[in-house]
Amino acid sequence: MTPCSSPFGANPAQWADGSGSPFVKSDNAITLDLRHLPAPEPMHRILEALDALPEGKSLLARTPCRPQPLLDLLDARGYRVMVIDSPAGDAWVQIFSPDDSTGS
């Protein structure tokens, strides 16, 4: 069984262009690869990481599918989020705290 409800399942392959991430990595982003985890573990890990996120940092997570329940929760809490869905079915999610101006 795939780790999420995505019809594509989790796919550890890189993006079609061979890159590992559609986001520009920086020293200000903490990166998590959660594709191997079954639901709802990626959501729990992301929420734990956000609780400990240092000021001025963003969280960049790769999830097994688009984490819509998490996105709804983050929106309600005021986080700013960028999401890119991979053709393989997984997703990149970058999360900025509400008071972080780097995600504008």
Q: In this predicted model, what pLDDT tens digit does every residue of 14-48 receive, in sequence order? A: 444 445 555 645 678 899 999 999 999 999 999 99
**Is the Cα torsion angle 60, 67, 103, 50 positive or negative in sign?**
negative
Rounded to two decimals, the pTM is 0.74
Name the residue ranges covered by the structural domains of the chain. 29-103
Q: Grade residue 51 by pLDDT with cuts at 50, 70 and 90.
A: very high
On average, the pLDDT of the chain sits at 79
- Neighbouring CB atoms inside 10 A of 88's CB total 18
Dihedrals phi, psi of 4, to nearest 5 degrees: -150, 180
Helices 41-51, 68-76: crossing angle, 10 deg rounding = 30
Q: Grade residue 99 by pLDDT with cuts at 50, 70 and 90.
A: confident
Q: What is the dihedral of CA 42, 24, 72, 51, to 10 degrees?
A: 60
- Neighbouring CB atoms inside 10 A of 4's CB total 23
Superfamily of domain 29-103: TusA-like domain (3.30.110.40)
**pLDDT at position 6:** 39
pLDDT mean over 58-81: 95
Helix (H, G, I), strand (E, B) or coil at 56: coil
